[in-house]
Structure 1
Amino acid sequence: MGEAAKYDLCASTASPRVHTQGSIGKAVSTGICHSFLPDGRCISLLKVLITNQCIHDCAYCINSTKNKKHFKHSVTSFEPEELAKLTIGFYIRNYIEGLFLSSGIGKSANCQAEIIHEALHVLRNKYNFDGYVHAKVLPGIGKDELFRIAELADRVSINVELPNKSRFSETCSTKDFHSDIIKVTKFLPEMRKKGEIPAGYTTQYVIGAAEETDKEILDTVFDFYTDDWDFRRQYFSTCLPLEEKTQPYPRSYFLREHRLYQIDWLRRIYKFSPEELMNVINDDGFIPLNMDPKVTLARMNAEFFPIDVNNANYSELMRVPGIGHTSATRILKLQQQGVKLTKNQQLKSTGVVLKRALPFLKIGSRKQLTLDNFGTS
């Protein structure tokens, strides 16, 4: 059941929820440890399905009715008490620091939601577990059922999977994009305003499951980061063949996913505008794979560079490839102390990636005269 849950992604397990006196565990604001699979997926929690039974026929899912005909594995389920006991046992032994609970859909979304709620209720109230819980929201779940689960979870997530109704229909005939996904998603901001799910909510896309373009994906991603939706994070998962593979996938296999994460980072952390980021998209609707999007944007705005590293403000520094929040903050601190950066080694000591940054910087009276030689990854 843990193997079957590996396709759901997670990251930070921090939550500001107040610790309850006499309870076990603590979802501290500093987060908890993470483990990673060889393909880079984060498995920081006990990631498990409460059942691998599912009534849906999603083409990309090994648990779907369509794929179970080809992949012979038995239907397995946990009883709520059994799952709660397993979780607390692993926690006491220091194997885990929280729970990521997902599920297939047996009879219906609401019936399965009741089982998930019961498992979390037992874990929280019988075993007094006060650690981090991330619960997966099932497509088509009712508002009341969702709110009951949210009362017991630190974070919830609903997998949008595809960016719009058209692409969604290409991969699944038993779910409706608007009634099963978007309608449920609209409940989340209301829950957040009521103080539920203190660590927010996230979603995930399966990349390459249909013929969707990066532009289609980013249209939805950028919309979900607006105040109307207020998603905390969005994840991208390359659609892999379901057949067992004995050799590692080549790095290029995941490059599209990597580029989407880079664009997401530029929007979510660096606060680049959606309009500017969309300029990176080529005529076919995709992010070019041969160059870091931040480098592409810098080259498209060549008149802005080079900037004087000793006089640049935070916003200007953050637009330079090879400079992130930490290195920009260190440079500004040196500026405040009156320290002039005149050598590459000084710049490197702040954390700047010189290969990427130098073509876009002026250090003292020196500046790079060409942008031909710089990193593209």
Structure 2
Amino acid sequence: MKPLTADQTLFRDPAVFESAHLPEVFNHRDTQLEALAFALRPAFAGYRPQHAVLRGVPGTGKTTAIRLLFAEVEETTTQVVPVLVSCQVEKSLFAVVAEIFRVLVGHAPPTSGVSIKRLMSEVAHVLMAREAAVVVCLDDAHWLLADGGLDAVLAPLLRMHEVWPAVRVGVVLTLSAPEADLARALDPGTRSVFQAAEVFFPPYSAGEVRAILGDRVRAGLYPGVMPPAVLDLVVERAVATADLRVGLDLIGRAARAAEEAGRRTVTAGDVLAAFVVSKNRHLAVTIEGLSASERAVLAAALDEGRAEDGAAGAGQVYGRVCEGAEMSYTVFHERLKKLERLRLVDVQMVRRGRGRRREIGVREGVEEVLCRTTGRHAGVAEDQK
């Protein structure tokens, strides 16, 4: 077989292997899509949409489902306005309402000189003028759980109709942290308003993973580029990580490696080499979204764990954090809880002699990713004070 020339490619469409790609066919999630459509149905009849919570580990199709449904709504009607907000990026009430404003009006509001009260008023008046409902999806809402952030965003949105009775707002949350407890995270008053339908996204089975990745290979690569046995290896690795996005990233990386080497087919060696990076893809995304103070706590846990040749005591980790910059123990505890929710660390009570202490263990792969991240030992920012 002739080697690949410089002007040839193995890819029909490389975008197919991006996690943000919307597939033409979205299989194995019919039940979840039907539940979401049912929640939005009242908005089409002039009523308030039902709220919903989408739960499932990363890579189970939650964001893809909501994006596909929102795209269909946009094509169908102007009386229901869908707004997708990434809580890894937008972490304040102002940022969320500003995104709603941008979708409604077509441009972002001024970055200064506008109060949140005025911005919400303008959003409300646009909705009333159009007689439209808005459905806001707070994607990866578990990023807001620390310090009451989710309640601070959710409560004003849910109560807009109390100030502007004609305004109809529905909220959808996606949660990739199975242990996220909304009952504890939200104030009683917010919980009483947020009566949400729960939609569960289970992990894909091995057969479903193979079918989905096979569809992507046929759409994104030319015939024969990825032999069936090599695809089986990709499926095995994706199932082992329980994250479909790892499989997509793995195919893209392995095919690029083969292309760069001038080969017309992907080998098992390409897959195994790419897996070294792809297996920690979800960790990289999570760690990149951490604040400086959260990263400082994670780095301190790594340093103390290395010094103790295992899990480190919470007191020792706190002491190391304070060597770099002052941090109250309350703030430290909140940062630690968030790292645990994001499944970057494990925290447990352990008996030591006659006493007990909280021990922090950093999960596998975190150190490798953190060490590749800029600012590994950066100072602590203002958000920890």
Q: State if a TM-score over 0.5 links the two structures.
A: no
TM-score (normalised: structure 1) = 0.26
TM-score (normalised: structure 2) = 0.25
Q: Which has the higher contact order (CA 8 A, sep 6+)?
A: 2
- Structure showing the higher helix proportion among its residues: 2
